[in-house]
Amino acid sequence: MEYALKLENVTKEYKDFKLENINIALPKGCIMGFIGENGAGKTTAIKLILDLINRDDGTITILGKDNKTEMNSIKENIGVVLDESSFPENLNAAEINNILKKIYKTWDENKFFNLLDKFSILLDKSIKDYSRGMKMKLSIAVSLSHNSKILIMDEATSGLDPIIREEILDTFLEFIQDESNSIFISSHIISDLEKICDYITFIHNGKIILSETKDDLLDNYGILKCSAEEFKNIDKSIIKGIRRNKFGIEALILKNKISGNYVIDKASIEDIMIFIIKEQALWLDLY
């Protein structure tokens, strides 16, 4: 299989935080959602991918090229949206077009103007008067207006209202119509990712907890609802997380491995993430 993005055993250590042995593989033509709490390491991982910070160990390839030695040959093909708009505040969209025309060889002016029109962004408005949503839309328009084959986005939809998010997600789905295109998107708004992603990668405390296709996740996990008595009889190895309430127990389980007659609800990606984080916190408390 050809991969648009591949991280192998990537490690980066800070004084108070460590990204450990990160392995991520995004096949070409797919969308991968990169989820985790604030501070889990999403932004650090994205900075490593973009070679904005140095890794301590491991390899990263984007579109089959090493992101340190061969980065310059693929920058035209990478569209990036960072968590905040990064254009100098005194500029407007028309000026940004003139600047980027000189920076990207493959810059597509018409496409840029069409996207701005679609996002209803005025050409002569200074960026300092933009709302957060407009800044994000501008960044997204830029990321799509050159010969991008992969979009790498950090929290591109956070802090935006549902209508704008919907618009942006539609734009992504349009981009992915071309099967050689891929998207890697981090977010803590999981409902957005659940709508569009093929793969979900979940990072917690600097470690990858799971990285699977969304369908596998939704097929394999379920939420078991039972009383404390019933719970005693269940094989503990299939339980991935527990929540107790006054009516009994809710547990995240591998639902295909349970035998017997139990009430099992569907688990959303958000449920899976929350159960697993809580479970880890529980283990930390025990030790």
Partner 1 sequence: MAGLILKDILNLKKQAKVYLILVIFYFAIGVVNENSSMFSSMMTMVAVMIPITAMSYDERSKWDRYALTMPISRASIVVSRYLLGVIFLIIAYVLSILVNMVFSRLYTTENILINIASLSAGITIMSAIFPILFKFGVEKGRILMMLVLFVPIAFVAIASKLGISMPDEETIKSFIYLSPIIAAVIFLVSIYISLSIYKKKEF
Is the Cβ of residue 98 or residue 191 nearer to partner 1 in the bound state? 98
The secondary element (H helix, E strand) that includes residue 209 is strand 207-213
Nearer to partner 1, 91 or 196 (CB): 91
270 token code pair: 């958000």
Closest contact distance (angstroms) between CB of 66 and partner 1 is: 16
Q: What are phi and psi of 18, to 5 degrees?
A: -135, 130
Q: Which among 188, 225, 209 is positioned nearest to 277, based on CA atoms?
A: 209
Q: Which residues pair with 199 in a beta bridge?
A: 32, 213
**Shortest Cβ 104–partner 1 spacing (Å):** 6
Alpha-carbon distance of 198 to 178, in angstroms, equals 15
The smaller minimum CB distance to partner 1, of residues 53 and 281, is found at: 53
Residue 95 has which token pair? 């000026």
- What's the closest the beta carbon of residue 199 comes to partner 1, in angstroms? 22
Nearer of residues 38 and 72 to partner 1, judged by Cβ: 72
Cβ closest to partner 1, residue 84 vs residue 216: 84
Residues 6+ away with beta carbon under 8 Å from 135: 84, 85, 87, 127
Residues that bind partner 1 (CB under 8 A): 47, 50-54, 72, 75-76, 78, 80, 82, 84-91, 95, 98-105, 152
Minimum Å gap between C-beta 52 and partner 1 is: 4
Query: How many Cβ atoms sit within 10 Å of the Cβ of residue 38?
Result: 9
Please, what is the minimum distance in Å from the beta carbon of residue 74 to partner 1?
9
